[in-house]
Amino acid sequence: MATIEASLQAGYQVKIVANGHVMLADEPASVGGEDTGPTPYELLLGALAACTCMTVQMYCQRKGWPLDGVAVRYTYSRVHADDCAECDDPDHKIDQIESAVTITGDFDEAQAKRLQAVAAKCPVHKTLEAGMKINDDVRVTTTGGV
């Protein structure tokens, strides 16, 4: 289980605390933020990237394989669903993440093939692909007025 706490600071800046680690999220100046931290989507991509790197590292350690490095690049976009057979709305957009993962090491062909599969199976990747249920509990506290 993982838990974070977050609170709005000023403007769009949000302070995030995770297991004692503090980070900021914000929006770029072009949309009214101060650009003091990654956007929420950049944080999401960062979680995926970190998980991918860590999963490959753990796998190589467990197998005793000579890993020299892992570099990832993820890009989030919403694309028009031209070929979406299940879409009733012709303007429907699909959330999409483009992946570029480079794993470096002295691997044979079978190891390289296995690492390609491992990189796409990190826990965050699997969660994003499967989707998830979010159980909302939103409370509004009135500080004045009626």
Q: What is the pLDDT of residue 79?
A: 76
| Residue 122 placed within a domain | yes
| Residue 78 placed within a domain | yes
Q: What is the pLDDT of residue 48?
A: 97
Residues 104, 67 within the same domain:
yes
Residues 56, 102 within the same domain:
yes
At 2-17, the pLDDT tens digits run 999 999 999 999 999 9
- List CB contacts of 106: < 8 A, sequence separation 6 or more: 66, 68
| Domains of the chain: total | 2
| Confidence (pTM) | 0.86
Q: What is the pLDDT of residue 86?
A: 57
Give burial (CB, 10 Å; 0-12/13-18/19+) of 19: exposed
Q: How many Å apart are CA 78 and CA 66, to the nearest integer?
A: 37
Q: How much of the chain is helix, strand and coil, in % rounded to 5?
A: 30, 30, 40
- Reading the chain (146 residues) residue by residue, the pLDDT tens digits are 899 999 999 999 999 999 999 999 999 999 999 999 999 999 999 999 999 999 999 999 999 999 999 999 999 998 765 655 556 666 677 889 999 999 999 999 999 999 999 999 999 999 999 998 999 999 999 987 66
Q: What is the pLDDT of residue 94?
A: 84
- Domain ranges, residue 2: 1-37
Give the domain CATH number at 52: 3.30.300.20
| Cα–Cα distance list, 32 to 10, 40, 95, 121 (Å) | 11, 15, 24, 36
Angle at 135 between CA 134 and CA 136, to 5 degrees: 105
At 114-132, the pLDDT tens digits run 999 999 999 999 999 999 8
| Cα–Cα distance list, 44 to 62, 77, 107, 142 (Å) | 27, 12, 30, 31
